[in-house]
Amino acid sequence: MSPSLRSVATLCVALLTTSAFAQLPADTQSDLGPGVPAFKVRPGYRVTRALPAKFPGQRTARFLEFSADGKMLFLSQGKREGAVLALRNPDADGVYKDVTTFVKGDRSAQGLSWHDGWLYFQDPQEGSVSRARDKDGDGVAEDVEVVCPKGTLPKAGGHPYNALLVTDKEIYVSASDPQNMTEEIDSPSKKIYVFDLDGKNQRVFCSGVRNCEKLQFRPGTSELWGFDHGSDNFGKSFGERTGKDQPITDVNPPEEFNHYVKDGFFGHPYITGTGVPRPEFAQREDIIELADKTILPEWNVHAHWAVCGWTFVKGDSFGPDVKGDVLFCSHGSWNSVKPVGAVVGRIIFDKLTGRPCGQQTIVDCVGPERRLARPVDCIEAPDGTIIFSSDEPAGLYRISRSAATR
């Protein structure tokens, strides 16, 4: 190994390795409702089903969004199904009784955002944004309109999970890196775009973003936040045996929780985590310049946890300490030697500074032999509970406060 690569390796181990936020202990006494897999649940919380183990249209379950009145919960089915389900009429236990196909077609519906009576959804495979409306309340959209035509956004490639956020004036859409990392600094991918509400006047909001699957404003502010997946095979340049002996890759680089700002550069693919260059780019003449302009994450989550969807907690159902914090869904690793992630976690915000200061695991879906679920997205329901989805196997679950803590 050359001295330059050796120095990069030392720097990576010293600066990049994140705290090993452990899965919950095997002997955790969990509060679980009927029919819920043997998740480990942090004391103080309870997990029940929000849909039966078998439900109409069940194939996969990914992103979630509520209508403005909270009476309809939308569930996207991702790139394989190209449909969005509408869930209505939960019973006394919070289990949705009515499931209909809200919209379907040749679409890989991913990001969902509700605005002014319309459900907006993004199709990363087509590079388009559409919207749909149900005028008679039967859970099936009568009107479907294209807002941003096919080809407006770059094709997503191997990471077809883009974020979508619609406001009163603008539409924000992420464009993921189509590969693990593409080097071109002026690529149309690796960016967050913003459009006027009519889908026109496309411009770049920020760049250097690898794979952000959900965007939200922090309540009471104009701060735009989101998670960005870390890249893979970080230790390959140092001679790791991929999938067998990869002590560097297993803990590097971290998943990033970013406060995205206009015209900001967030490092990908050159600078990762706490300001460390990927070894492949360490010899670039402009690497110091790139590091200097990179905006560092507000919080790092363990490598390969693959955080997809998340939500700010706006209500006080879980107590004043949790209000204002973030609950996130970690899909879990595909390329670390030991499976990690597959949790619903909490990022704790300092109430004084308004910035992240800690992390907890709330629901751990890793069983002794396999993952019992792979969480994708979570959302706060009108009653203050948190609903989260899993796509492997497909399922929908509800997190509430345990009776022992009420």
Question: Does pLDDT of 17 surpass 70?
Answer: no
pLDDT of residue 59: 79
pTM over 0.85: yes
pLDDT of residue 109: 82
Parallel, antiparallel, or unpaired for β 31-32 and 45-49? parallel
C-alpha distances out from residue 93 to 12, 37, 384, 399, Å: 48, 17, 14, 12
Number of folded domains in the chain? 1
**Nearest Cα to 237, choosing from 3, 5, 4?**
5
pLDDT of residue 80: 66
The H or E element that residue 325 is part of is none
- The amino acid at 138: D
CATH number at residue 326: 2.120.10.30
What is the distance between the alpha carbons of residues 138 and 324, in angstroms, rounded to a whole number? Answer: 34
What is the distance between the alpha carbons of residues 138 and 157, in angstroms, rounded to a whole number? Answer: 35
How many beta carbons lie within 10 A of that of residue 106, not counting itself? 8
Question: Does pLDDT of 128 surpass 70?
Answer: yes
Tokens read off for 36? 């819920």
pLDDT of residue 19: 45
What is the distance between the alpha carbons of residues 52 and 62, in angstroms, rounded to a whole number? Answer: 16
Query: What is the strand order of the sheet 191-196 is part of?
Result: 164-166, 170-175, 191-196, 203-207
What is the distance between the alpha carbons of residues 243 and 339, in angstroms, rounded to a whole number? Answer: 11
C-alpha distances out from residue 392 to 79, 365, 380, 395, Å: 14, 11, 22, 8
Containing structural domain, residue 371:
3-405
Chain mean pLDDT for the chain:
90
Question: Does pLDDT of 307 surpass 80?
Answer: yes
C-alpha distances out from residue 256 to 139, 260, 308, 390, Å: 36, 11, 11, 21
What is the distance between the alpha carbons of residues 384 and 365, in angstroms, rounded to a whole number? Answer: 22
* Lowest-confidence segment of 60-69, 80-89, 211-220 by average pLDDT: 80-89
What is the distance between the alpha carbons of residues 396 and 51, in angstroms, rounded to a whole number? Answer: 6
Contact 351/358 with Cβ under 8 angstroms? no
- DSSP label at residue 165: E
pLDDT digits (tens, 9 = 90+) for 184-201: 878 899 999 999 999 999
pLDDT of residue 7: 42
pLDDT digits (tens, 9 = 90+) for 335-367: 788 888 999 999 999 999 999 999 999 999 998
pLDDT of residue 14: 37
